[in-house]
Amino acid sequence: MTFRPGAPQRTISFGGSGPPARDVIAMLLIVGVTYSLAAFTSAVDVLRLTPMAWRGGWLWQIVTYPWIGAGRPSIWILLELLILYWFANDVFWALRRRRFWNLFLWATAGAAVAATLVDVALTLAGLGVGSSFVLMQGQRMLILVAIAAFATLRSEATILLFFVLPVKARWFLWIEIAIGFVGFLGTKDLPGFVGICSAVGLSVLLLRPGRGRGLLREARLRSERWWIERKLGRMRKKSGLRVVRGDDDEDSVRRGPWVH
């Protein structure tokens, strides 16, 4: 797969924004080592995201789960690590070390919190699913965040999917959600699907702080308006005053003949 960030005639390979970043190599090694350990011992399972994160107070799982390689032993892990490198290396050189790690830590932890809250709600409602969080384990979440970050930072880049199909990078945000929904249909893992959507959304907000601040400001203004309206309503009830609406303007007060 390749992408073309600028002129149509220029094609650059993934990972071509800079040399292999040591941070990305460390990420691949962590996933590779934990993936290998999982084939010999189940001790690493306590680091995966499970309902024990809220049932047993194993809160560390919210942070550790994306770094524990997931899946049965298969040659496909090499392809997954290659895809992770392709996207993560470009994202690293675009963000540099501090923003890079902040992105992955906050996006994956936020997704885990959202998924856990859904699992709690389903359990309390008696609608618990059989397999929670199976869609959002290990390197899959790292790949998800890396692709979402790439699609946000290089939204106008053209990716040659399967080396043939040209797709704008920004569409990969929706492609990830669509793939997650198909996985949800097969696993019934609603918490995992919510976690996928949350990771994509948080990646966009973290890389577009202006949009995130705008959403927070709008939410704050709406809450303040709601509080003021309720406060005025209580004051009107206590004072016994009654507001009479005008015929032409719903927000105006009908004026008496003494008002000029």
Nearest Cα to Cα of residue 84 among 24, 135, 167: 24
Give 4's pLDDT tier (boundaries 50, 70, 90): very low
239 compared with 247, residue with greater pLDDT: 239
> CA nearest 50: which of 42, 59, 40, 38?
59
Whether the predicted model's global pTM rises above the 0.75 cut: no
pLDDT for the residue numbered 80: 93
Report domain extents, the chain: 2-207
**99: region left, alpha or beta (phi > 0 left; psi from -120 to 50 alpha):** alpha
Q: Could you tell me which residue, 98 or 2, shows the higher pLDDT?
A: 98
| Percent over 70 (pLDDT), the chain | 77
CATH number assigned to the domain with residue range 2-207, chosen from the 4 options 2.60.40, 1.10.8, 3.30.750, 1.20.1540:
1.20.1540
151: Cα separation from own chain's centroid: 13
The rounded distance, in Å, linking the Cα atoms of 27 and 100 is 12
Spatial CA neighbour of 108 closest among 146, 150, 63: 63
Nearest residue to 66 (alpha-carbon basis) of 170, 192, 171: 192
Residue bearing the bigger pLDDT, 1 or 227? 227
Task: For tokens 């920004």, name the residue.
Answer: 170
Distance CA(209)–CA(33), nearest Å, equals: 34
* Token duo for residue 109: 């932890």
Which among 114, 116, 29, 15 is positioned nearest to 69, based on CA atoms? 29
- Please tell me the distance from the alpha carbon of residue 118 to that of residue 197, in angstroms, as a whole number: 13
In this prediction, residues 124-142 reach a mean pLDDT of 86
pLDDT at 254: 52
**What is the pLDDT at residue 252?**
47
pLDDT in tens, 185-240: 988 999 999 999 999 999 999 998 655 455 555 656 776 787 788 778 777 777 66
Identify the DSSP state of 226: H
What residue type is assigned to position 10 of the chain?
R
Distance CA 80, CA 77 (A): 5
pLDDT tens digits, one per residue of 90-106: 999 999 999 999 999 99
Integer Cα distance of 211 and 184 in angstroms: 29
List of residues 6+ apart from 122 with CB closer than 8 A: 128, 129, 190, 191
206, 107 contact by CB (below 8 A): yes
Which tokens sit at 132?
Answer: 């929670």
Whether 145 and 110 have beta carbons less than 8 Å apart is answered as no
Strand, helix or coil for residue 187? helix
Q: What is the pLDDT of residue 142?
A: 96
Sign of CA dihedral 19, 22, 27, 29: positive
